[in-house]
Amino acid sequence: MFDLRPMTVDDLPACLSLWTGMPGITLFPATDSIEGLTRYLNRNPSLSVVAMREGAVVGAALAGHDARRGYLHHVAVAAEHRRKGLGRTMVEWCLTALTRAGIGRCHIFVDAGNDEGKVFWRRVGWEERPGVHVMSVTTDPERA
């Protein structure tokens, strides 16, 4: 029903179209641009996934690592294809790729108000870390 394969640079316009305006997905213009996402894919080859159906991207997940921990970003499934196991399958695909790369733990940042996302992540076995808060600093406003 769905074909999963590694995300390529050619998939990025369709992925951005899927992610744009999706509740729970926050995009940042500099880093979530074609250029920024191309850098991410080149730094983390064959770790991100797209789900295809009839030639169209209907799901996508960015995956990468810092040599210690893995990270998932923008895990999304088109509304009409949800609740069919596709999200779980994409996450498992990415985790398998990260494990092959020698990564033993993975994190995801979930928007605080994304209650549907939190339910999904708990359902697929992830746990919230209430003692951890994300803090950030901008080092280059052109790339923030």
State pLDDT tens for residues 13-47.
999 999 999 999 999 998 999 999 999 999 999 99
DSSP reduced 3-state for 98 = helix
**What is the mean pLDDT of the segment spanning 57-75?**
97
pLDDT at 123: 94
Quick check: 88 and 124 in contact, CB under 8 A?
yes
Angle of helix 12-19 relative to helix 34-43, nearest 10 degrees, comes to: 110
Q: How far apart are CA 74 and CA 111, in angstroms?
A: 11
Phi, psi of 108 (to 5 degrees): -140, 145
Q: How far apart are CA 29 and CA 19, in angstroms?
A: 12
Q: How far apart are CA 26 and CA 17, in angstroms?
A: 13
pLDDT at 143: 78
Rg (CA), the chain: 15
Nearest-10 Cα torsion for 39, 43, 49, 50: 20
- Indicate the pTM of the whole model: 0.93
